[in-house]
């Protein structure tokens, strides 16, 4: 039985509408002022509100605006006098479902109510399917951003396109998105092969991708099958494609255009039916302009582009993710799960997470090991999170690593600023490791070859 709340300062109108709507099977409540209506809104949680534009304490627009700041906003039909039509139209632009002008016909009112409730039902059904799609992908989060992402993943997965580019900051979960695309596709029974282009040495990445014939190079004592071959009829995920050497980019382009490739040292062409999902946290358009990425390859992989949102733009998802990781790491460590206290909840939701989901994941793993089974308060959180300013969306990341975030000079591009931050972090790590590049790479969590490329790109010459 749908519930209707009438907010109007005319008792006779509330009385007559209550009688008529109850005859139609609705449960009806009435309020004579805007403040009373807002209080009753929380108590009865109506499916629909009939709201007068003129009230003794607040305007109908003010009540509508206050309602939209609450959870579970119902459908709203504005009731206006003849001279309030312009305000009623404004209310519709603010989110009201419709408006009626006094005096109105009862049949018109019933039809408008039915239409608004049907619209609400359809919106709830769409929301349900979006939530179901999100659960299917394995992605965690209930924000509108993540529900939209899940719906987009479902559409892309069901398509026949074989070239997809996934963009997003480091640590946002681009690999998980790629797996979700594979799982939701007709190729899900086939293999999912992941290649991190930044972790493979330049001289071996071609052999890793396309394979090599016996004797093709020193140490090739037997035929080596490439990952492209293994990914046949499945999905090949090229993570950090922006790190791929230019020479290999041309060969990848050739493969993506016709599905043909050759193993190193072989003259026989091979064929593979592969969906290629590429990911990067770089601006590939800028990489093309700088001559570090082929323009033709950029347009070839950019058939469908999917942007993975940063954690800071996902509202309260940080808290849901924290609870998800708490259960996961408790199971892995064989201990009782930590719980997140109210103060910690607020801090996790307010923090900007420069390291995104990866940073949150590492935090929860650390807290699980240090405080198993305990309730986490602000005192157990790192200083950079505990010091989060709730009135601002910015924090100062990098404190935990002992490297302060650099100030951004006026006029400097974000790429210049990020490059300088990366340079300072590498130099600080090298100093801590006594100039030993291998130890510095291990401490930063990247391969030694990727670390070497970064040193070259940033023109760092360690002692």
**CATH number, residue 344:** 1.10.8.60
Residue carrying the six token digits 């801590």:
432
Q: Is residue 409 assigned to a domain?
A: no
Q: Is residue 76 assigned to a domain?
A: yes
> Which residues are 235's β-sheet partners?
192, 275
Instruction: Round to the nearest angstrom and report the end-to-end CA distance of the chain.
Output: 76
Count the Cβ atoms, other than its own, within 10 Å of residue 362.
Answer: 14
pLDDT given at position 50: 94
Give all strands of the β-sheet with 75-80 in edge-to-edge order.
27-31, 3-7, 48-52, 75-80, 98-101
Q: Is residue 136 assigned to a domain?
A: no
Question: Do 196 and 99 have their domain in common?
Answer: no
CATH number at residue 239: 3.40.50.300
- Rounded to 5 degrees, what angle do the CA atoms 457, 458, 463 make? 115
Structure tokens at 301: 């992989």
Question: Do 246 and 321 have their domain in common?
Answer: no
How far from the centroid of its chain's Cα atoms is residue 308's Cα? 5
pLDDT given at position 398: 31
- Containing domain of residue 446, as a range? 414-457
Cβ neighbours of residue 381 closer than 8 Å, sequence gap 6 or more? 344, 347, 348, 363
Burial of 63 (0-12, 13-18, 19+ CB in 10 A): buried
CA distance 39 to 60: 15
CATH number at residue 91: 3.40.50.2300
CA distance 280 to 299: 14
* C-alpha separations of 25 from 11, 28, 81, 152, 453 in Å: 21, 9, 27, 39, 71
CA distance 73 to 57: 21
Question: Do 377 and 423 have their domain in common?
Answer: no
Question: Do 418 and 389 have their domain in common?
Answer: no
pLDDT given at position 338: 92
Question: Do 157 and 239 have their domain in common?
Answer: yes
Residue 461: cis peptide before it, omega within 30 degrees of 0: no
Which H or E run includes 395?
A: none
> Which residues are 165's β-sheet partners?
278, 305
CA distance 125 to 236: 34
Structural domain count of the chain: 4
Question: Do 264 and 329 have their domain in common?
Answer: no
> Which residues are 59's β-sheet partners?
54
pLDDT given at position 445: 62
DSSP-assigned states of every residue in 25-44 = T-EEEEESSHHHHHHHHHHH
Give, for all 463 residues of the chain, the pLDDT tens digit. Answer: 789 999 999 999 999 999 999 999 999 999 999 999 998 988 888 999 999 988 999 888 999 988 887 766 789 999 887 667 788 888 888 888 888 888 888 898 999 999 888 888 877 765 555 555 445 556 788 788 888 888 888 889 888 888 999 999 998 989 999 999 998 888 988 999 999 888 877 768 888 899 888 766 666 667 788 899 999 999 999 999 998 988 899 999 999 988 999 888 888 889 999 999 999 999 899 999 999 999 999 999 988 999 999 998 887 889 889 998 999 899 888 888 999 988 888 899 889 899 999 999 999 999 999 898 899 998 889 888 887 654 444 333 332 333 333 444 444 444 555 567 677 788 888 877 778 887 777 777 666 766 777 787 777 876 5
Domain termination site, one of 307, 334, 358? 307
Question: Do 34 and 180 have their domain in common?
Answer: no
* C-alpha separations of 423 from 68, 199, 246 in Å: 46, 19, 23
CA distance 57 to 39: 14
**Whole-number mean pLDDT of the chain?**
83
Domain termination site, one of 124, 154, 175? 124
Question: Do 149 and 288 have their domain in common?
Answer: yes
pLDDT given at position 417: 56
Question: Do 444 and 395 have their domain in common?
Answer: no
Q: Is residue 446 assigned to a domain?
A: yes
pLDDT given at position 193: 93
pLDDT given at position 396: 32
DSSP-assigned states of every residue in 210-255 = H-B-TTSSTT--S-B--HHHHTTTSEEEEETGGGS-HHHHHHHHHH
Q: Is residue 129 assigned to a domain?
A: no
Sign of CA dihedral 91, 94, 96, 97: positive
Sign of CA dihedral 228, 232, 233, 234: negative
pLDDT given at position 192: 93
Percentage of the residues of the chain whose pLDDT score is greater than 70: 85
| Three-class SS state of 381 | coil
Residue carrying the six token digits 């005096």:
103
CA distance 165 to 278: 5
CA distance 314 to 173: 13
pLDDT given at position 297: 93
pTM metric for this prediction: 0.57
């Amino acid at each position: 039985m749908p519930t209707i709340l009438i907010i109007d300062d005319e008792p006779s109108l509330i009385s007559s509408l209550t009688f008529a709507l109850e005859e139609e099977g609705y449960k009806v409540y009435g309020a004579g002022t805007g403040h009373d209506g807002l209080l009753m809104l929380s108590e009865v949680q109506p499916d629909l509100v009939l709201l007068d534009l003129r009230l003794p304490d607040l305007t109908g627009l003010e009540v509508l605006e206050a309602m939209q700041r609450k959870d579970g906003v119902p459908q709203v039909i504005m009731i206006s006098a003849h001279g309030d039509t312009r305000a009623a139209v404004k209310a519709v632009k603010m989110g009201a479902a419709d408006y009626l002008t006094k005096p109105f016909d009862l049949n018109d009112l019933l039809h408008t109510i039915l239409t608004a409730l049907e619209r609400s039902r359809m919106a709830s059904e769409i929301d349900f399917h979006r939530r179901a799609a999100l659960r299917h992908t394995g992605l965690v989060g209930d924000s509108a951003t993540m529900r939209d992402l899940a719906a987009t993943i479902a559409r892309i997965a069901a398509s026949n396109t074989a070239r997809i580019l996934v963009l997003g900051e480091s640590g946002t979960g681009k690999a998980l998105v790629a797996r979700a695309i594979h799982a939701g596709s007709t190729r899900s029974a086939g293999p999912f092969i992941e290649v991190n282009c930044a972790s493979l040495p330049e001289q071996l990445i071609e052999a890793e991708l396309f394979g090599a014939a016996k004797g093709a190079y020193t140490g090739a004592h037997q035929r080596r099958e490439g990952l492209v071959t293994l990914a046949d009829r499945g999905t090949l995920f090229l993570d950090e494609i922006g790190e791929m050497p230019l020479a290999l980019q041309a060969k990848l382009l050739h493969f993506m255009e016709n599905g043909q490739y050759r193993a190193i040292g072989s003259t026989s062409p091979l064929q593979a039916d592969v969906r290629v999902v590429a990911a990067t946290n770089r601006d590939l358009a800028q990489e093309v302009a700088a001559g570090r990425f082929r323009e033709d390859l950029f347009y070839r992989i950019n058939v469908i582009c999917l942007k993975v949102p940063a954690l800071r733009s996902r509202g309260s998802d940080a808290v849901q993710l924290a609870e998800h990781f708490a259960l996961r790491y408790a199971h892995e460590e064989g201990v009782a799960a930590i719980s997140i206290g109210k103060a910690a909840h607020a801090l996790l939701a307010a923090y900007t997470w420069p390291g995104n989901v990866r940073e949150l994941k590492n935090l929860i793993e650390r807290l699980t090991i240090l405080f198993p089974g305990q309730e986490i308060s602000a005192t157990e959180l790192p200083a950079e999170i505990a010091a989060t300013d709730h009135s601002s969306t910015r924090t100062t990341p990098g404190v935990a690593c002992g490297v302060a975030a650099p100030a951004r000079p006026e006029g400097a591009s974000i790429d210049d600023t990020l490059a300088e931050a990366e340079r300072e972090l590498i130099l600080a790590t090298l100093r801590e490791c006594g100039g030993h590049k291998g130890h510095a790479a291990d401490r930063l969590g990247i391969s030694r070859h990727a670390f070497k490329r970064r040193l070259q790109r940033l023109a760092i010459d360690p002692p």
